[in-house]
Amino acid sequence: MDVRVSESFPRRLRLTRAIDFRQVFKNNIRVGDNHITLLVGRNTGACPRIGFAIARKQVPTAVQRNALKRVVRESFRKNRHRLPPRDIVIMVKREILLTRPADFRATLDQHWNSIIKQCESPC
């Protein structure tokens, strides 16, 4: 029997309100490297949620910012069923523009695994 898991990305999986972002920025666990930082905060819901804080200063053009967000959303969508119910804010540094998309995806997968491991103990 093939059990299908939905890989959609509905609005309830996104951080949309400023208060949600402030909460994550105030109380968080940091996961990341030289190119990307993931802030992980508590979530009262049953599903992980994701938000983006990608500054124009770090990624100058809208095309580049949107491409990065597209890659992160796709990776989150594929891995969200493994992630604990936390709020995650993604921030990037300018150096991210020098990495290949495949390397960026691999890095994101490592960070998702790191979040899972850190949240096995009280997160």
Mean residue pLDDT across the chain: 90
Instruction: Tell me whether residue 7 is in a domain.
Output: no
Give the structural domain span for 87: 13-118
Instruction: Tell me whether residue 61 is in a domain.
Output: yes
Instruction: Tell me whether residue 2 is in a domain.
Output: no
Instruction: Tell me whether residue 56 is in a domain.
Output: yes
pLDDT category, 122, cuts 50, 70, 90? low
pLDDT category, 9, cuts 50, 70, 90? confident
Q: Find the CATH number of the domain harbouring 81.
A: 3.30.230.10
Instruction: Tell me whether residue 123 is in a domain.
Output: no
Which pLDDT score is estimated for 10?
A: 80
Strand pairing class (49-52; 36-42): unpaired
Tabulate helix, strand, coil % of the chain (nearest 5).
45, 20, 35
Token pair 């804080």 is found at 53
Q: Would you say residue 4 has pLDDT above 80?
A: no
Q: What is residue 69's three-state secondary structure?
A: helix
Task: Please give the tally of structural domains in the chain.
Answer: 1
Tell me what the mean pLDDT of segment 111-121 comes to: 88
Strand pairing class (36-42; 86-92): antiparallel
Residue 14 DSSP class: B
Which pLDDT score is estimated for 88?
A: 96
- Calculate what percentage of the chain has a pLDDT beyond 90: 78
Instruction: Tell me whether residue 109 is in a domain.
Output: yes
**Cα-to-chain-centroid distance, residue 52:** 7
Q: Would you say residue 2 has pLDDT above 60?
A: no
Among 117, 106, 116, 115, CA closest to 29:
115
